[in-house]
Amino acid sequence: MFNMSDNEIVFRVAGAAGDGVQSAGLIMAKTFARSGLYAVTYNYYQDIVRGGESWYQVRASPKKVRNQGDGLDILVTLNEDGLVRHTNPNINEGGASSLSGIAIFDESITNYEKQQKVDYRPMPLSTIAGKYSKNPLLKNTVALSAAAASIGIDFEVMAGVIKETFGNKGAVADQNVQAAKEGYDYFKAHYPPYGKKLDFSKRKLYLIGGGEAVGFGAVKGGLKMYTAYPMTPASSCLHYLASHARKFDLFVKVSEDEISAINMAIGGNYAGVRAMTGSSGGGFALMTEAVGMAAMLEIPLVIYEAQRSGPSTGLPTKTEQGDLNQVMGASQGDFLKIIFAPRNVMEAATLTAEALNVAERFQTPVFVMVDLYLAEHSETVENLNFDFRIDRGERPKDGQANYKRYLITDTGISPRAVPGQEGLMHNEDSDEHNEYGDVVSDAVTDPKDRIKMMEKRMRKMQTYINEMPPTETYRADDAEYLVFQWGSTQGVVEEAIDLLRKKNIKVGAVEINRVFPMNPDIGKIIKSRKKIIVVENNYSGQYNSLLKSRFLCQTELITKYDGESFFPGELATSIENAIKR
């Protein structure tokens, strides 16, 4: 086992769907953030509106936290089932740890087997709540404030978050604050504080979810139109953009299906605004034909692809990195497709903005691939309003003589006219065409034009590769063993590396956020290492296959496909075993 840090708290709230688990977790996360603590959340829920089991975890620390963490200090449980599940030493929640700390729950729950590592803190949650309102969810607020009291969080900080959550002024907000105060005082009067002390601070932190960050990043990147069809876990981005459409001057449309959504976005980009579409694997499957069309007509297009467990409907509320093969293979024929996979919440914002620039400069489809874990968990970030310069790519001047929409160039990129421009009228065609956009596939197929156009479009790949930033690594300089990760597993892989380094194992990581085209510098990075290990949240190792076929290397594969993310201790053990194999 690996020892976890003392300078942090892992908090978890558990209950059934409809109990308000997620909003309770968010209140706690925000309270931590406002106390100057870095926080990462984890959302465990089911495909059900009422009932079932769900929980929401928040890890908080005055030091930066990179994942949901191991261990569990404080459990707030809203039902008996949650108490039994999360105190069980043989917990079966996808890698999450059982409680080794305090449990806060309503005193009416009495039917449970006592566990050694648990300090039970029954409270009159419902009785306190009942004094202020008939709404049974008010007891959540009482329990949260008790948890805050246990680690010495300033009540005013929590009260501020509660007020905002319940609409600032008004009876509901007041009731919640009053009930919270009573819960806070009750805990302090009846129980000792929890054994860990955290260093609170005044640092300003934003708390934002991955899907929201994609939406925000898109706005920073000049997005004007978002068209989509609802699908978990892509919807957190849709909801953010829809609820901020007026503020950010955005056109947002949910259309009749994903086919329509992607074709609308293509139409928007064609006509000169930055447009984006988004879905999860099943919905994206419907979009695939249009991906190739955007490439053929050389229309910029950003596609947000938020993966969940497949195949088919799969585990709709669970995470996986299982769509890479689908995205790689989307649409017939050869063309440049660029795939980004942000590694954390902040990067979800910055890479989405970059994707919009790259799509417009290279006039080709660019994917922002995340997974459910990234899309639906929140992280604290500093300086969210990052600097970004919009680059709208090469555009011809109005009235330019002998305009060729698909001009053959060394870079493969041709100046792109949009409707409304004087004198540049032309046809953009999904059939093969010549430099003017005239079809060369119908009356007479012209093999020379075909070859020229294929090579022109494919030339954009080398142009893009030439400007790729160096691949990022973590503690890799002296590493004998290298762990490859892509996308959201960065934080957990880094922590696993740190744990193994403490055991003097020379291991480091390669952290991939620009998945395809693959950066040629990877060839140099993997030279002379004892072992290459690939970590993926899927069954077959989809990135592993790409890596091996491109760089002809031997690898060890670590996968997880139970629907949950990796947890740091579990991953460190897997890496250690892979090294020994």
Identified binder of another protein from the candidate list 58, 207, 496, 507, rule CB under 8 A: 207
Identified binder of another protein from the candidate list 204, 503, 524, 530, rule CB under 8 A: 204
Closest CB to another protein among 430 and 573? 430
Query: Can you point out the beta strands (E) in 124-248?
Result: 206-209, 225-228
Q: Where are the alpha helices (DSSP H) in 271-396?
A: 281-297, 324-329, 345-362, 372-376
Closest CB to another protein among 14 and 262? 262
Closest CB to another protein among 275 and 572? 275
What's the min distance (Å) between Cβ of 394 and another protein?
A: 17
Q: Which stretch binds another protein (CB under 8 A): 57-65, 212-220, 449-457, 469-477?
A: 212-220
The span from the CA of 466 to the CA of 471, in Å, is: 13
The span from the CA of 25 to the CA of 12, in Å, is: 7
Closest CB to another protein among 380 and 574? 380
Q: Which residues pair with 276 in a beta bridge?
A: 226, 302
What's the min distance (Å) between Cβ of 42 and another protein?
A: 19
Closest CB to another protein among 143 and 297? 297
241 φ, ψ (degrees, to nearest 5): -65, -40
CA angle 346–497–34, rounded 5-degree value: 35
Does 289 sit near another protein (CB under 8 A)?
yes
The span from the CA of 566 to the CA of 209, in Å, is: 18
Sheet with 556-559: strands ordered across: 472-474, 507-512, 481-486, 531-536, 556-559
What's the min distance (Å) between Cβ of 507 and another protein?
A: 35
The amino acid sitting at 141 is T
Sheet with 275-279: strands ordered across: 251-254, 225-228, 275-279, 301-307, 365-371, 338-340, 514-516
Identified binder of another protein from the candidate list 139, 163, 181, 253, rule CB under 8 A: 253
The span from the CA of 387 to the CA of 374, in Å, is: 22
Does 136 sit near another protein (CB under 8 A)?
no
Residues 359 to 388 in contact with another protein, rule: CB under 8 A = 384-385
Q: By rule CB under 8 A, what string of x and - marks binding of each residue 406-435 to another protein?
A: ------------xxxxxxxxxxxxxx----
Tokens found for residue 59: 């890890």
Closest CB to another protein among 31 and 307? 31
Closest CB to another protein among 428 and 498? 428
Does 116 sit near another protein (CB under 8 A)?
no
CA 200 to chain centre: 27
Q: By rule CB under 8 A, what string of x and - marks binding of each residue 24-63 to another protein?
A: ---------xx-----------------------------
Identified binder of another protein from the candidate list 39, 118, 225, 535, rule CB under 8 A: 225
Tell me which H or E stretch contains 56. strand 51-61
CA angle 330–212–177, rounded 5-degree value: 150
Residues 438 to 497 in contact with another protein, rule: CB under 8 A = 438-439, 442-443
What's the min distance (Å) between Cβ of 246 and another protein?
A: 6
Closest CB to another protein among 422 and 480? 422
The span from the CA of 443 to the CA of 325, in Å, is: 36
Identified binder of another protein from the candidate list 91, 273, 328, 468, rule CB under 8 A: 273
Say if CB 93 and CB 45 are below 8 A apart: no
Identified binder of another protein from the candidate list 99, 205, 324, 346, rule CB under 8 A: 205
Site residues, another protein (CB under 8 A): 33-34, 204-208, 216, 219-220, 222, 224-225, 227, 245-251, 253, 255-257, 259-273, 275, 289-290, 293, 297, 384-385, 390, 418-431, 437-439, 442-443
